[in-house]
Structure 1
Amino acid sequence: MRTLFLLAAGASSLAVAAPVTVFAETAAPAAKAVPASDNPMLAKWTGPFEGVPPWDKMQPSLFPAAFEAAMAEYRAEVHKIRDDESPATFKNVNEAMQLSGQTMTRLFGLWGVQVSNQSNAEVQAIDKEWSPKLAGFFDEFNLDQKLFQRHKAVYDKRASLKLTPEQLRIVERDYEGFVRRGALLTPAQKAQVTQINQDLSGAFSDFSAKVLADEETWIVIDDKADLAGLSDSFVASLKDAADERKLPGKWVVVNTRSSVQPLLNASTNRALREKVWRAFTNRGDNGNANDTNATIVKILKMRSDRAKLLGFKNHAWYRMDDTMAKDPAKAMDLMMRVWGPAVARVHQEVADMQAIADAEAKSGKGAKITIEPWDYRFYAEKVRKAKYDLDEGEIKPYLELNNILQGAFYAAGRNYDLAFKENTGEIPVFDPNVRTFAVTDKRDGSNVGVFYFDGYARAGKRSGAWMTTYRSQQGLGGEQNVLASNNNNFVKGGAGEPTLISLDDATTLFHEFGHAIHYFLQDVYYPALAETPRDFVEYPSQVNENWLLTRDVLDQYAKHYKTGEPMPQALVDKIEKSSTFNQGFETVEYLSSAILDMKIHDRDQPVTDPKAFEKATLAEIGMPKEMVMRHRLPQFNHLFADDGYSAGYYSYLWSETMDADTWAAFTEAGSPWDKATADKFRAILLSTGNETDRAEAYRAFRGRDPDVKALLKKRGFPTE
C-alpha cells in the first residue's frame, strides 16, 4: 500500500489540530476500549457508492485499538510479501505491496478527519501518543533489509522482465524510494533514522497543538461602536461566536484567518485592527506555554541530522529529490525573479494608501498616520474604491456561499463532464453542516464518487482550507470510485442571515475544488502512480481558480442575496479592470513565507533562533516594513505540523507558473470554455496521475516548458 508505506520517512502527525481555547475545556473521560472484532473503525465500508465512511460511529476512544489491529494486519501482509521464497517479480512484490494495507488506508481516512475536523483534547492526546508509534511502525518496512532486497531483485533485472512503461516506472521509483528513506544505511544508522522519525512525529504533534491553542483564543468587543465599518452579516457572526462562548451582549473575534481578515479589511477602529492583527501574527510566539520557537529548533535539528544520515546535503535537497524542480536553487531562482517586481509594486501600493491617509488627515476626516501592517488591507480597500470605484462591500452581497459552490459545479460540468447532485441525509457525515453530493460522468451516467463539503469554521476544526480524499481511484484490485472532500473555514452567517463570502474566499473555494476535480478525473491503474510531486499538486487547483471570474459563472451564480439579481455587468467590468490590484501585497505576503521556508532548510547548519533568523532574513531580502509574512515561522503549519510542504512552499508559485501558461492556452484558443483545450488538459495532465514525468507531460500538453512571463503578466508585473 504505497501511500502508507511512504509515510515512514518523517511520518507526520496526522493532526493539524483543532482549536483549543485559552479558556480551557476539560477532556471527556476516555471510553472503554472496543475489541478489534467489533471496532467499526476497522470494518469495511458499506452502503451506497461502493461503501462510505461510518462517520456516525467515529469516536476517539476507538482509534488506539484500531491502530493496533490495523498495524498487525499490515505487518502480516508485508511479511508475507517479504518472506515469499519464490523468485521476486513485479506481481509478487511491487503489485502485491500496492494491494496491501487496505484496512490501514480506511483507518487513516477516518483518523485524518478526527484530528483535522473533529478534534478535542482527547484526540490531541491520542495523536501525541500514537504519531511516534506509527512513524516507527512504518520505518520497520522502509528499513527492512529483506524487503528491500526483494524490491532490489526486481529492480536489478527490470530490463529483462518485459515490463510496461508504467510498471518500469513503479519498479524504479519503489527502489529509489527505499534508498531515499535509508535502505542502504548500516543497522546503527537505520536505528538513528527511525528514532529521528519518531521524535519528529512527536514534535509535529506538539507544534500543531500549540498553534491550535493560540488560534482558539479570542478578542472580546464590548462596545457596539467598535463594530463600525463591519457588515451586518459579519457582525451577526461575531455575535454568534460570543453567544457560543456564553458572552451575551458582546461580540467575539476568534484568532483565525476567517475571522480576522474581514475585520482588518473593513473595521474603521484602528486600535482594534492593531489589537486583532497583533494577536493573529503572534500566534505561537508569545513566550508562553504555547510558544513554538523551541519546537521549531528541535524540528530543524532533526531534519538536518536525518538528511545528512540519508546522504543529502540538507533537508531541502532531501525533500526536493522527488519533485519537478529537483534543485533548491532552481526554485529560489523562480521566486527571486518574481520577488523584485512584487516588492516594487508593494511600494507603489503603499504610496497610494499613504496619499489617501494624508488627504484624510489634511481634511480633518482622519488622524495623521503612517501606514502600518494593520492598515494595509483597510487602506487597500480605500484605494480600490478610489481607483476602480469598487470595494469589497459592493462585491460580497453577490457571493452567497451556496451559489458560488454551484458555480464551481457548473464549470466542472462544462469543462470535464462532471455532474453533482446533492444527497445530504442519505449517507453518514461527521458534522450536521457537512453536505454530500453524488458525482457522475455526464457522458454515460456512471458514478465517479462522492463529494463532501465541510464549509464552516467551528471548534475542533483546524484553520485554513484543504482537500482530502477518503478513497482514491485505482484500477488494480478492481476499479474503485473517489470519496473526496473540501474543507473550508467560512464564517457562517448569523441567525437568519446568508453566508456571504469575499472574493478571496470564493477564489479559495474554486482552488480547493480544483484539487477535488483532479482526483475525480484521475484514471490510473496502479495506485503507486497516483500521487504527483509536491510542486505539481497545486497546479490543477490553481488553474481552476480562473473560471470564477468568467462572465458565464458570474452572470449565473453571482446573484445578490436580497434581490436575486445577477451581478451587474458594470460591476463585473470593474472587477476585471482591478484584477491586478493589490498583487504586490498578495505576492509578497506569500513569497516571503516561501523564501524563508527554502532559506531555513537549504543550509549546512540548522537555525537555532527562528525569531532572529526570520527578522534578519526578511531584512536581507528587503521585506517591506508595512507587511508581514502570510505565515510567520512560529505558526507555519505547512512547515512544522508535518514534513509535507517543508522546503516545498515554493510549489504554489511553481504551480502558478504552469497555471498562468495553461490559462494562456485557453485564451489562445479563443475561449475559457474551449472544449478541445479542456479535453487535452484532462487527458494529458489531470487524469494521468504520475504515470509519466510531469515536466514531460506538461511539454506534451503545451509543446514547451511553461513560460514565466505568463505569470508576471497575470499579476500585472513587468515581463522584461
Structure 2
Amino acid sequence: MSNPLLKSFDTPFQTAPFSKIKNKHFKPAFIEGIKLAKLEIDAITNNSEAPSFKNTIEALDFSGQTLDRISSIFFNLNSAETNDEIQKIAQEVSPMLSEFANDITLDEKLFKRIKTVYKKKDELNLTTEQDTLLTKKYKSFVRNGANLNEVDKTELRKIDSELSKLKLTFGENVLAETNAYELHLTNEDDLKGLPESAIEAAKMVAKQKNKDGWVFTLDYPSYIPFLTYADNRNLRKTMALAFGAKAFQNNENDNQQIILDLVKLRYKRANLLGYKTHAHFVLEERMAESPETVTNFLNDLLPKAKPAAEKEFKQLEALAKKDGVETLQKWDSAYYSEKLKKQLFDLDQEQLKPYFKLENVIEGVFTISNKLFDLVFEEINTIDKYHEDVKTYKVTDTFGNYIAILYADFFPREGKRNGAWMTSFKNQWIKDGENSRPHISIVCNFTKPTETKPSLLTFNEVTTLFHEFGHALHGMLANTTYPSLSGTNVFWDFVELPSQLLENWCYEKEALSLFAKHFETKELIPMDFITKIKKSSNFLEGMQTLRQLSFGILDLDWHGKNPSTITNVKEFETNSFKGTQLFPEVEENCMSTSFSHIFQGGYSSGYYSYKWAEVLDADAFEAFLENGIFDKGIALKFKTNILEKGGTEKPMKLYENFRGKKPTNNALLKRAGLLK
C-alpha cells in the first residue's frame, strides 16, 4: 500500500496532503516512522567518532522528523476531527509511542554520549541556544529515567504506557458525554429571554437532527447563551447539571477511576525518578521551579481576590433576591452577571455581537499583527484542509518573505472537542542554511452562521480569538535553529504570555476601531460602547480571579501531595474548593471529571500558569501603554526577545531583555481593580 504519510509531501509549502490521507494509513505509518527514527538513533549511538555537540546533541534534535510529522497530523485530527476509528488507532499507537520515547531516554549508549558532551560543555564555546539545547537534552534524559536500574526502567515503561492510554480515554469520555446530551424544547415559552441568534442556532441544530422545535447542546456556543439569557430557571438548572455531570455519572464514560489511576501513577512515576510528587517533577522545569513557589503565588493573590469576590457575589445575590431567588446557585451566575453588567454599564453582549462579525474580527487581528509585527495574511485555497470549515492562509512579511502557513478552524462539530487551542502541524528550524518555516493551526468553537446571519461573536469569543492568535504568533514568528526550542516550546508558565498579552488590544479604542463594524450597516462601533467595554473590563474580576485560583489549587492538590489515600474524587474536590467556594455545593456535579487541561492536556501541575502569565502580560502591556499600543519599537523588542526566541534561553532572562526589568504583581492588580 502506498502511504502518503511516508513520502515527502510534494505539495505547496510541504503542507499535509489531507485529502490523500486515510485512517488506514496511520498505524502502518507510525510503525514505519518509529522504525526510521530508531535507525537514526542507532546511527548516533554507533558513530565511531568521539561524541560531539554536532554528531550527538544536534543529530538527536533533528532525528525522528518523519515520526513527528505523522504524530502531529494524527493527534491534531484526534482533537479537531475525530471518529471511532481514529480513537481506536490512538489507543493502539499511544503505548507504542510512549514505548519508543522510553527506548530513547533509557538507551544507555545514547545517554553515555550525551553525558560525555555535557561534562565538557564549558570547553565547547557554545552559543546560548546550543548551551540551552545541551542542558535540556541532558536533563530530559536524567528526568526520564536514564540513571535508573533495569528493574526500575521496566517499571517506568509500564507506567508510561498506562498513562498514555488513560489520558486518551479521559478525553474520549468527555467528548462522548458532550455529544450525548441535548435539551430538546418544543414549547416556545421555554425560550423566553434567549436572544434571537441563540434561538435560530438551536432551530438549525434541531433541523439537522430531524426534530421539531429547538435543540440546545453542551457545546459552548449553545450552552453559554442558554445559561446567560434563559429566563426559565429550571431549564438553566437542567443544562448546568448536565454540563457539570460530564463523565461523573457512573456510566461507561465515567472518569472517576481514571483520575484516581492517573494521579497515583503520576505520583509513583515521580517517586521512581527521585521526586517527592508529580508537581515537584513538573515544576523543576518551569519558571516557578517548585510547588512551594506556586502555593505562595496563589496564596498571595487569594486574600486580595477573595474580599472583592465576596462583595461581587453579594451584588449578584441582591439582584437575584428581587426575582424571588432565595439562594443563588451556579446556574444563576451567568444570568445575573449579565443583568448586573447591563445595570452597571448599560452593556449587554447581544448589543455588541453585530459589531463582531467573525470575518471582521479575523481581519482585525491580521491588521493588528501587521501594524505590530509587519505580517501579511493571504487566504489561499491551493492547500489541503482536513475539513471544509477550515480556512488556510499564507503568511508573509511586508517584503513578501514567506513566514508561515496558518490553518484556522472556527466552528463546533461532533468530532471536535470543546474549547479553543493553538497547535502546529510543523515546527520551524534552521538546517543546512535553510530556515524551514512552520505550519500553525488555531482551533475554536464559535457561534456558527445561521440561515439569516453570519457568525457574530460575543466579546468573550473575540478575546478568545485574540488569545489563540497570540499563541499562533509565537509559533509563526519562531526563528530558532533547533526544532525542540522553536515557537511555543517554552516553559509552560511562560507560554501564555504572548496569548494573554494580545487580548489587551480588544479593549483599546485604537484597535477596536480597526475592525468592530456593524455587519449590516458597516457603521463603526459607537464610542460609548468602547467606553463601556473598557469600563467593564474588570467586571466581576474578583470572582474570575477566585475561580482561576480555585482551579490552580485543585490542580496542585491532585498533583502536589501523596494521592494514595484518595478514594472519592468528589469528596476530594469539595475539600480542595473549600477556601474559594462561593456557590452552594452541587452533589450531582464534579469539575475534575472533565478537567481536560490537567488530565488530558499538558497542564498537570501547571494550571496556575494562566494567572502567572497574567502578571507578565499586564506588566508587558504597560510598556505598550506608556509608548502607544502600536509602538513599533516596543513591538520589535517583544518580537525579537520573546516571539522569535522560543525556548532558547531562560524565560525570565528573555523577559528582562524585553522589558529591562523583572515583572511585579502591581500592573495585574491595578488592571484588575484589586489594588487598594
Quote the residue 1:708 is aligned against.
665
1:688 to 641, 645, 664: 645
Checking the alignment, whether the CA contact within 8 Å between 1:256 and 1:463 is kept in structure 2 is: yes
Residue aligned with 1:252, SS: strand
Tell me, yes or no, if structure 1 residue 451 matches structure 2 residue 409.
no
Task: Tell me the secondary structure at the aligned position of residue 304 of structure 1.
Answer: helix
In structure 2, the partner of 1:5 is: none
- Opposite residue 276 of structure 1, the aligned amino acid is M
SS across alignment from 1:456: coil
Structure 2: runs of 5+ lacking an equivalent:
none
With 158-167 and 579-588 compared, the bigger mean Cα shift is at 158-167
The aligned counterpart of 1:293 is 256
Residue 28 of structure 1 corresponds to which residue in structure 2? none
Specify the alignment match of 2:135 in structure 1.
Answer: 172
**Contact preservation (8 Å) 1:233, 1:498:** no
Letter in 2 for 1:566: L
Could you list the structure 1 runs, at least 4 aligned residues long, displaced by more than 6 angstroms after superposition: 627-631
Task: Report 1:539-688 matches (<5 A).
Answer: 539-606=497-564, 607-619=566-578, 621-625=579-583, 632-642=591-601, 644-669=602-627, 671-688=628-645
Deviation at 1:368, TM superposition (A): 4.0
More displaced 10-residue stretch of structure 1: 223-232 or 174-183: 223-232
Kindly report which structure 2 residues correspond to 1:129-148, keeping only aligned pairs within 5 A, or say none: 129-148=92-111
Gap change, CA 1:140 and 1:536, over 3 Å in 2: same
The letter of the residue matching 2:198 is F
| 1:388 alignment counterpart | 345
2: CA distance, partners of 1:545 / 1:431? 28
Cα distance between partner residues in 2 of 1:223 and 1:408? 41
Task: Tell me the residue number matched to 1:512.
Answer: 468
Moved more, 506-515 or 490-499: 490-499
Other-structure match for 1:18: none
For the 8 Å contact 2:394–2:404, the answer to whether it is kept is yes
Contact 1:597 1:649 in 2 (8 A): yes
Query: 2:156 matched to 1:156?
Result: no
Q: Is the 8 A contact 2:267 2:277 kept in 1?
A: yes
Are 1:242 and 2:211 an aligned pair?
no
* Bigger Cα displacement from structure 2, 228-237 vs 71-80: 228-237
- 8 Å CA contact retained: 2:313, 2:543: no
Contact 1:657/1:711 (CA < 8 Å) preserved in 2? Answer: yes
C-alpha distance in 2 between matches for 1:223 and 1:76: 65
Whole-Å Cα distance in 2 between the matches of residues 705 and 272 of structure 1?
Answer: 49
Letter in 1 for 2:331: W
How does the TM-score come out when normalised to structure 1? 0.91
Alpha carbons 1:398, 1:561 under 8 Å: kept: yes
Shift of 1:631: 8.7
Q: Which one of the candidate residues 385, 393, 415 is aligned to 1:437?
A: 393
Tell me, what secondary structure is at the counterpart of 2:593?
helix
| Residue 29 (structure 1) aligns with | none
Per-residue CA deviations over 1:107-151 (Å, capped at 9, x if unaligned) read: 112102320111111111111122112111211111111110111
Task: Compute the displacement of 1:694 (Å).
Answer: 0.9
Hey, what's the Cα distance between the residues in 2 that align with 1:77 and 1:244?
A: 50
Greater mean deviation of Cα atoms: 366-375 or 175-184: 366-375
Q: Give the number of aligned pairs.
A: 670
Q: CA deviation at 1:358?
A: 2.8
**1:405-420 maps to which residues of 2 (within 5 A)?**
405-420=362-377
- Cα deviation for residue 703 of structure 1 reads 2.3
Residue 54 of structure 2 aligns with which residue? 91
What displacement does 1:626 show?
Answer: 5.5
Cα offset, 1:65, TM superposition: 0.7
Matched position secondary structure for 2:331:
helix
Letter in structure 2 aligned against 1:390:
L
The residue type paired with residue 474 of structure 1 is W
The residue aligned with 2:148 is 185
1:165 shift after superposition: 2.7
Question: Contact 2:428 / 2:436 at 8 angstroms: preserved in 1?
Answer: yes
2:458 counterpart (502, 505, 519): 502
In the alignment, residue 429 of structure 2 is paired with which amino acid? Q
Deviations 1:311-350 (A, max 9, x none): 1110001011111110111112222222223222222222
CA distance in 2, matches of 1:704, 1:667: 16
Amino acid across the alignment from 1:522: A
Q: Is the CA contact (8 Å cut-off) linking 1:376 and 1:626 kept in structure 2?
A: no
Q: Is the 8 A contact 2:429 2:436 kept in 1?
A: yes
Between the aligned partners of 1:367 and 1:41, the Cα distance in structure 2 is 62
Report the Cα distance in structure 1 between the residues aligned to 2:546 and 2:457, rounded to whole angstroms: 23
Contact in 2 for aligned 1:234/1:493 (Cα 8 Å): no
Question: Which one of the candidate residues 344, 351, 376 is aligned to 2:333?
Answer: 376
- Give the superposition deviation at 1:707: 0.8
In the other structure, the counterpart of 2:24 is: 61
Aligned partners of 1:256 and 1:280 also within 8 Å: no
1:280 is aligned to 2:243: yes
Q: Which of 478, 481, 490 does residue 437 from structure 2 map onto?
A: 481
Q: Is the 8 A contact 1:470 1:484 kept in 2?
A: yes
**Structure 2 CA distance for aligned equivalents of residues 368 and 192 of structure 1:** 55
Distance 1:505 1:704 in 2: 33
Instruction: Give, as a single letter, the amino acid of the residue that structure 2 aligns with 1:633.
Output: S
**Which AA in structure 1 matches 2:464?**
T
Equivalent AA in structure 1 for residue 370 of structure 2: G
Q: Distance in 2 between matches of 1:218 and 1:368?
A: 26
CA–CA separation in structure 1 for the residues paired with 2:620 and 2:585: 31
Do the aligned partners of 1:476 and 1:527 also contact (CA within 8 Å) in 2? no
Distance 1:628 1:661 in 2: 38
User: Within 5 Å, which residues of 2 pair with 1:62-81?
Assistant: 62-81=25-44
- Mapped to 2, the partners of 1:268 and 1:571 lie a distance apart of 25
Encode CA deviations 1:530-574: one digit per residue, 9 max, x unaligned. Answer: 211111111111001111122133223111122221110011111
Cα distance per residue 1:182-241 (max 9 Å; x no partner): 100001101100100001111111111111111112221221221122222221211222
**Displacement, 1:357?**
2.6
- The 3-state SS of whatever aligns with 1:449 is strand
Equivalent-residue separation in structure 2 for 1:343 and 1:214 (angstroms)? 33
User: In structure 1, what residue type is equivalent to 2:45?
Assistant: R
Question: For residues 451 and 412 of structure 2, what CA distance do their matches in structure 1 show?
Answer: 15
Does residue 178 of structure 2 align to residue 220 of structure 1? no
- Contact 1:41 / 1:110 at 8 angstroms: preserved in 2? no
Match of 1:340 among 303, 314, 318: 303
**After the TM superposition, which of the residue ranges 237-246 and 279-288 deviates more from structure 2?**
237-246
What value does the CA root-mean-square deviation take over the aligned residues? 1.7
Equivalence for 1:251: 214
Aligned residue identity for 2:518: H
Q: Is the 8 A contact 2:418 2:445 kept in 1?
A: yes
Conserved 8 A contact 1:589-1:628: no
- CA displacement at 1:625 relative to structure 2: 1.8
- Cα offset for 1:628? 8.7
SS of the equivalent of 1:436 reads: strand
Whether the aligned pair in 1 keeps the contact of 2:194 and 2:230 (CA below 8 Å) is yes
Show the counterpart of 1:403.
360
Could you tell me which amino acid in structure 2 is paired with residue 225 of structure 1? D
